[in-house]
Structure 1
Amino acid sequence: MIRMRAKDETENPAHTVTEAADRNADAGASGAGSEAADVRDCQPPRRGAERSRHRPGRPSRSSGPLPTAKSVRRYWTMIIVLAVASAGIALGILAWDNPMPITDPGFWLIAQLRLTNLVVIAMVALCQSFATVAFQTVTNNRIITPPIMGFESLYVAIQTSAMYFFGVTAIVELKGLVPFVVQLGLMVGLSLALYGWLLSGRHSSVALMLLIGVVIGGGLGSVATFMQRTLTPSEFDILSARLFGSISNSDSSYLPVSIPLCLFACLGLYLCSSRLNVLALGRDMTSNLGLNFKGELLKVLFFVSILMAVSVSMIGPMVFLGFLVAMLAYQFADTYDHKRLFPMAALIGFVVLGGAYFVMKNIFYAEGVVSIIIEIVGGGAFLLVILRKGRV
């Protein structure tokens, strides 16, 4: 066999050379591979590789409003929980303490009578949530709310003036549809005049607008307080009932006007969500990105004034409802995108306002005077935020 292999090698020298070359190439490749492996082992690992090796379960992130899968699950979980809670509260308002069985036609007659209050609660929740979130965005401050512009002080001044100049009969006459529309037009008109005047000058600024709003609100409140001191005790009692934030202050005759205005303003703000995301960056960044800051600001404040006028005219002043709803929406949504903030805030507003109404009506028998719970909880949350931040 050895003799035959030697014979083959002498007869086929090219084959022998080829095999030798292949063996040398394999040896060189293995040597080069081992040297390259040694060099790689000697080099320090890259920063990204080291980070990924230390955290192998790191979730993938994106640049969207909900950057991780965990944040997406958290957002939709909160939406579902709030929707279920809202449905439960609505069912409780319609069915709790209803003397008729659900299969009886009388049950639905009583439910229809309660449906007006339920619609008012939903509408006020929409107005307060959308208006507060949008207002805090354009003012770049998560503490101040639209009542700082004097909407509620104007409402108090109108009601007090009617009682002071025209007596108790004026309060009854102000519950019609025409006085309601006049009151809405007066609130929106004065607010737009204030915005247009303060934001049209060379040195226009949002801070100046807020300062003037505080001064006007304080002045109207002082005038209303002076007129209230001159009223008789019976007149003051009737007026105080109107100045409390109460669902019972609403009237079903207001709904044909207030519902379209509320939906119009909420839809306008929702369609401006992408522009509100830019406005949250500030005046300079908004102008650099090609948006007219002053025009967008006036448009947003126009919608905010409509929503606040509708809310205050329907149920009366409620200072801390918007702040409480917006603060919880920021915490639960955990995003900058207003397309996701607005639905979250609306559901929270309905849960807070509807839950307070249900508790006050069915436990304390206060028939819808929800401002007591709202002011206590909202005021406490406001103080907590102030103390934690240490500044306004």
Structure 2
Amino acid sequence: MKFSLPKKELLLISLSILALLLCGLYLTYNTYGNIQFALMLRGKKVAAFVLVALATGMATVSFQTMTQNQFLTPNILGLDSMYVLIQTILFFVIGGVNMLSQEQTSIFLLSILLMALSSLLLAKVLLKRRQNDRFILLMLGMIFGTLFSSTSNFLQVMMDPNEYDLLQGRLFASFSNINTTHLGLAAGIILLGSFILFAVNRYLDVLHLGGDQATNLGISLNTFQILLLFLVSLLTGTATALVGPITFLGFIVANISYQLMPTYRHSYLFPTAILLGIIFLVGSQFLVEQVFHLKTTVSVVTQFVGGLYFIGKIIYERRRQR
């Protein structure tokens, strides 16, 4: 009797093997005989890759299901801009040298809490009455993001040039010199948030049908949306506080997941997005370190590829609708 795996399982297995091979290549390539030291140094980065891919993949797919829009990402809520504002204020008040030398856990947790609680506050105010208020929520997120960016730019203009130079190093996504304590805290938060999202994946499957259908099928829509927004903000904020803003990563992995895995079931979409995120991050970091020799950053590679993919998707959708 022949047993053949369905295409979805075969795809997940193939992506898992590719992710493992890329991680193995990154850990062992050009170690120059210092394999143990390389594993210790690069192993911390691989752990960060996995956590960021987990947080970004879960958060973006959930957010796009809630908004019924595959072009939106959680960053539209202004989380990246808030992170930039928090870091700018801290560098402006405390000083860049003190900030880089202390790396306090309280500051790390403060960044996460501010980003998550601000989204939760907006959600409770705007979503408690009508489902359609989520679009007002997105508009306010864009407005507050612009406000945060303008305030950050104002403070950066007033900063000492040396302090500004140190700040810019913090505002680009970087997987180098990650604080081990922060990595452990981020792992706990991201794993907990991801576990809750995966536990409600069947509710997300129903929400994929639309808000009215979800309400008719017994889901308390406003309460569920508030929970989703809090978890999405928590995951996105933690990933951003850990390595810095990575603007297009979620958009890339979520939309490729929809193409590779044409299904509404989030039990397949979640792992596909996570594995694609690991593959993209490890591949980008490998290019940055071994091809470009640290002359650029992962965020630059992500923005370049993500910008091209975003434009291509817009053109493709317009042609398909004609």
Task: Tell me the TM-score range normalised by the shorter chain.
Answer: over 0.9
Deviation of the 1:78 alpha carbon: 2.1
Q: Which residue of 1 aligns with 2:292?
A: 364
What's the TM-score, normalizing by structure 2?
0.93
Match of 2:14 among 81, 87, 103: 81
Deviation of the 1:385 alpha carbon: 1.2
Q: Which residue of 2 aligns with 1:317?
A: 245
Q: Which residue of 1 aligns with 2:311?
A: 383
The 1:262–1:202 alpha-carbon spacing in structure 2 relative to 1, beyond 3 Å, is closer
Q: Which residue of 2 aligns with 1:128?
A: 56
Deviation of the 1:368 alpha carbon: 7.8
Higher RCO (C-alpha 8 Å, min separation 6): 2
| CA distance in structure 2 between the aligned counterparts of 1:285 and 1:143, rounded to whole angstroms | 22
Matches within 5 A, 1:291-306: 291-306=219-234
Matches within 5 A, 1:57-76: 73-76=6-9
Q: Which residue of 1 aligns with 2:47?
A: 119
Q: Which residue of 1 aligns with 2:71?
A: 143
Match of 1:209 among 137, 150, 155: 137
Deviation of the 1:216 alpha carbon: 0.4
Matches within 5 A, 1:1-392: 73-100=6-33, 107-172=35-100, 175-201=103-129, 205-248=133-176, 250-366=178-294, 369-390=297-318
- Using the TM superposition, name which of 210-219 and 182-191 deviates more: 182-191
Q: For the Cα contact (< 8 Å) 1:129–1:325, is it kept in 2?
A: yes
Deviation of the 1:247 alpha carbon: 1.0
What's the TM-score, normalizing by structure 1?
0.77
Q: Greater Rg, structure 1 or structure 2?
A: 1
| CA distance in structure 2 between the aligned counterparts of 1:265 and 1:124, rounded to whole angstroms | 13
Q: For the Cα contact (< 8 Å) 2:205–2:266, is it kept in 1?
A: yes
Gapped regions of structure 1 (runs ≥ 5): 1-68, 101-105
- Using the TM superposition, name which of 199-208 and 316-325 deviates more: 199-208
Provide the aligned C-alpha RMSD in A. Answer: 2.1
Q: Over residues 309-348 of structure 1, what are the superposed CA-to-partner deviations in whole Å (9 max), with x where a residue is unaligned? A: 1110011111100000001100111111000100111100
Deviation of the 1:170 alpha carbon: 4.2
Q: For the Cα contact (< 8 Å) 1:162–1:170, is it kept in 2?
A: no
| CA distance in structure 2 between the aligned counterparts of 1:185 and 1:174, rounded to whole angstroms | 19
The number of residue pairs the alignment matches comes to 318
The aligned amino acid for 1:131 is A
| CA distance in structure 1 between the aligned counterparts of 2:265 and 2:55, rounded to whole angstroms | 19
Q: For the Cα contact (< 8 Å) 1:247–1:368, is it kept in 2?
A: no
Q: For the Cα contact (< 8 Å) 1:82–1:347, is it kept in 2?
A: yes
Aligned-residue sequence identity (percent) comes to 32
- Using the TM superposition, name which of 191-200 and 206-215 deviates more: 191-200
Q: Over residues 210-231 of structure 1, what are the superposed CA-to-partner deviations in whole Å (9 max), with x where a residue is unaligned? A: 0010000011001111111122
Q: For the Cα contact (< 8 Å) 1:155–1:312, is it kept in 2?
A: yes
Runs in 1 of length 4+ with deviation above 3 angstroms? Answer: 201-204
Name the SS for the 2:293 alignment partner: coil
Q: Over residues 94-141 of structure 1, what are the superposed CA-to-partner deviations in whole Å (9 max), with x where a residue is unaligned? A: 1111122xxxxx523431222111100100000110000000000110
Q: For the Cα contact (< 8 Å) 1:150–1:217, is it kept in 2?
A: yes
